[in-house]
Amino acid sequence: MLVLGLDPGLALTGWALVDGGGGGRLRLRGSGCLTTSAQLGEPQRLLALSQQAEELLAMAGAEVVAVEKLFFQRNVSTAMAVSQARGVLLCAVARRGLPVAEYTPGEVKRAVTGSGSADKRQVARMVQLILGAKVPTTPDDVTDACAVGICHQHASGLRVALAASRA
């Protein structure tokens, strides 16, 4: 299964294509960031993000999109911007008719490191070990998108194994 992992943000949205097909080993097929300019007004930034997301979805060929859920932040303006970016991304995914899976930051950390309280450095190291690739460690958004994709691959594998055990 080819999963597009997304780490939403208005300035930077990290993305990663994580391929689960092939002998149980996950592979990174591509990664990067969708960016918007702080020089633009918020509506124009959201439009730019939407257009970039549409282009990415057309190019990626993903079977499912995994997105990090918004968690409560103390900075309300940052939370609002991330929430709006998530909405734009989810609309773009819905337009393509792709299924969406959403995971909290704790679920992602637990799936990748075994601990829901892992720090960014631990997540980055495990992402590199799991994918066996030189995943860029900056910006964090790319590493986080890889982690979201890995989380979905692990969750999907667990669902398949549970279904098989019940048969």
| pLDDT tens by residue, 101-150 | 999 999 999 999 999 989 999 999 999 999 986 777 778 999 999 999 99
Q: Where do runs of H (alpha helix) occur along the chain?
A: 42-60, 76-96, 105-113, 120-131, 140-166
Question: What confidence score (pLDDT) does residue 76 get?
Answer: 73
CATH of the domain at 35: 3.30.420.10
What is each CA distance from 105 to 108, 112, 140, in whole angstroms?
5, 11, 13
Q: Which two tokens stand for residue 101?
A: 């899976």
CB 109 within 8 A of CB 121: no
Prediction pTM value: 0.91
Q: Does residue 140 carry a catalytic annotation? A: no
Which residues on neighbouring strands pair with residue 102, listed in sequence order?
A: 67
pLDDT band for 156, please (50, 70, 90 cuts): confident
Range of the domain at 69: 2-166
Among 19, 107, 141, 144, the one annotated catalytic: 141
For 16-64, how does the pLDDT look when each residue is reduced to its tens digit (9 = 90+)? 999 998 777 899 999 999 999 999 999 999 999 999 999 999 999 999 9
Q: Does residue 119 carry a catalytic annotation? A: no
- pLDDT of residue 88 exceeding 60, the answer is yes
Question: What confidence score (pLDDT) does residue 24 get?
Answer: 75
Q: Does residue 54 carry a catalytic annotation? A: no
Element (H, E) at 61: none
| Tally of domains in the chain | 1
C-alpha 126/C-alpha 105 separation (Å) is: 15
Question: What confidence score (pLDDT) does residue 80 get?
Answer: 87
CB 4 within 8 A of CB 149: yes
Q: Which two tokens stand for residue 83?
A: 């929430």
C-alpha 22/C-alpha 70 separation (Å) is: 32
